[in-house]
Amino acid sequence: MKKVLILGSTGSIGVNALNVIRKFPDRFSVAGLTANSNISVLSEQIKEFKPQFVVIKDKSKAKELSEIVNQNVEIISSENALVEAAQKYDYDILIGAIVGFAGLTPTIEAIKRGKRIALANKETLVVAGEIVTRLVAENGAEIIPVDSEHSAIYQCLVGENLNEVEKLILTASGGPFLNKEKSFFDNATVNEALNHPNWKMGSKITIDSATMMNKGLEVIEAHWLFGLPVEKIDVVIHPQSIIHSMVQFVDGSIKAQLGIPDMKLPIQYALTFPERLSNNFERTNLPLINNLTFFEPDFDKFECLKLAYLALQTGGTAPCILNAANEIAVDKFLKGFIRFSEIPKLINKALDKIENHSNPDIETIIECDKLTREFINNLN
Ligand code: NAD
Ligand code: MG
C-alpha cells in the first residue's frame, strides 16, 4: 500500500490522479491533499479519500474548510505549508500537480527525502533542472514523468541504452491556432486560446499550448529528464495527439507510445512503474482514428517555441527567466490586459534585460524568478 501526497489535488491533473487512485483502493491511499483556494472541491475530496492532512494556501478559506469538513483531518494553512507538508508528513509518492514555479520548493523537499515524484509540474525541471536532477541522484529519489510526452519517451526507453538514442521526438498537437495565420494572434481572444482541440487542462497550460510555449517547456523538461543535449530533441506537429512521443535510435529505428489523449494513463504509469496494472479506461480504436499526420513546427509563427530552445541553449538562469516571464504574460493575457501576440514579446524583453547567472543555486533561482516577475509586471 503506497501513501500518496497530491500537490494541487483540485486541478485537472490532481482530479485525474484521484480518478486513478479511486480505481486501486488496495494499492494506494491518500496521505495528503493540497489546493490553492477551491474548498468546495477539496472538501468533497477529503470526504471521499480521508487524508491525514490537507494544505489550503488561501488562509481566509482555512476556517471555512474546517467548518464544512466534520472529520478528523489536519488543516494546514501557512506561508510555508506546502514545503512543510512535503518535509514532515508520512507519504511514499508525491504527485506534483501544482501549476508553475510554486511547485519547485515542495518538490525539492520530497526529493531530499528520497521519495518517488510523479511529476506533472514541468516548471520545476524548467527552472531548476540541473539542481533537481542532481538532488534526485544524491538522495536516491526518482522522478517518473506524468507529462504525456515524457511518459511516452520514458516507456520507449525501458530496456534501452541511452547511448544508443539518436534523438527524442516530442509530438505537439499544435494547439487551437495551428492553422491560423500569425496576423490572427493580435486579436485572438482568451476563449479562442482556451479552446484546445484535444486536451482539457488548466488555463495556464492551455494558453501555453496555444503559444506552443508548452512544447518549448517540454523540450527543456526532456533535456533534464533524459540527459540529452538540445540538438537531440526535436518537435514534430501531430494534430491527432495519439502518438504521445517517440525515440529514434542510432540504427534508425523509431519507438513510439500511443493512446487516446487521457492523462489517467501516464498518471497511473508514474504511480505503478515498473508494474503495469490492468484497468478499464477507454481503449484506443485505431481504425476509428484512421489517420495520423505529422509535419514540421513553424518557429516563426510560434515564437515561444523558438525562445524556449534559445533559453535552453543559453543555459544558466535563462530558462527560469523564460518561465517567470511566461507565467506573468499568460496571466496578463487571461485577464485581458495584453494581446496574445504580446506574450512572446514580453518574454523576449525579460530574456534581454534580466541578468543571466550560470550554475545558479536555488536562492539565485528564487531571486531570478522574483526579479523577472517584477520586471514584467512593471512594463506597461
Ligand atoms: P490546474 O490549474 O488545473 O490545477 C492547478 C492546481 O494547483 C490546483 O489544484 C490549484 O489549486 C493548485 N495551485 C495553483 N497555484 C498554486 C499555488 N501558487 N500554490 C498552491 N497551489 C496552487 O493545472 P493543471 O492543468 O492540472 O496542471 C498542473 C501541472 O501539470 C502544470 O505544471 C501543467 O503544466 C502540468 N501538466 C498538466 C497536464 C494536463 O493535462 N492538465 C498535462 C501535462 C502536464
Ligand atoms: Mg505534455
Each residue of 265-318: pLDDT tens digit?
Answer: 999 999 999 999 999 999 999 999 999 999 999 999 999 999 999 999 999 999
What type of residue is 356? Answer: N
pTM value?
0.98
Residue 10 has pLDDT above 90, yes or no: yes
Identify the pLDDT of residue 78.
87
Identify the pLDDT of residue 199.
87
Percentage above 70 pLDDT, the chain = 100
The answer to whether 241 and 259 have CB atoms below 8 angstroms apart is no
Instruction: Determine the atom of ligand 1 nearest the C-alpha atom of 9.
Output: 9
Which one is the CATH code of 2-145: 3.10.580.10, 3.30.470.30, 3.40.50.720, 3.30.70.360? 3.40.50.720
Q: From the CB of 77, is ligand 1 less than 6 Å away? A: no
What pLDDT, in 10s, does the model give residues 35-70? Answer: 999 999 999 999 999 999 999 999 999 999 999 998
Instruction: Determine the atom of ligand 1 nearest the C-alpha atom of 205.
Output: 34
Identify the pLDDT of residue 70.
80
Q: How far is residue 188's CA from residue 200's CA, in Å, rounded to a whole number?
A: 19
Cis peptide before 274 (omega within 30 of 0): yes
The answer to whether 228 and 164 have CB atoms below 8 angstroms apart is no
Mean pLDDT of 94-110: 98
Q: Where are the domains of the chain?
A: 2-145, 150-314
Identify the pLDDT of residue 309.
98
Tell the residue nearest (CA) to atom 9 of ligand 1. Answer: 8
Identify the pLDDT of residue 380.
72
What pLDDT, in 10s, does the model give residues 125-158? Answer: 999 999 999 999 999 999 999 999 999 999 999 9
The answer to whether 132 and 159 have CB atoms below 8 angstroms apart is no
Ligand 2: distance of its center to the CA of 63 in Å?
36
Q: How far is residue 139's CA from residue 223's CA, in Å, rounded to a whole number?
A: 20
Ligand 1: distance of its center to the CA of 354 in Å?
26
Measured N-to-C along each axis, helices 104-112 and 122-139 cross at an angle, to the nearest 10 degrees, of: 20
Ligand 2: distance of its center to the CA of 260 in Å?
13
Ligand lying closest to the C-alpha of residue 54: 1
235: β partners: 170
Q: How far is residue 248's CA from residue 53's CA, in Å, rounded to a whole number?
A: 44
Residue 223 has pLDDT above 90, yes or no: yes
Q: Which three cell numbers stand for residue 26?
A: 488496495
Mean pLDDT of 225-246: 98
pLDDT category, 71, cuts 50, 70, 90?
Answer: confident
**CB < 8 Å & 24+ apart, contacts of 358-366:** 358/315, 358/316, 359/130, 359/316, 360/128, 360/131, 360/316, 360/317, 360/320, 361/131, 362/105, 362/108, 362/128, 362/131, 364/317, 365/104, 365/127, 365/128, 365/131, 365/317, 365/320, 366/105
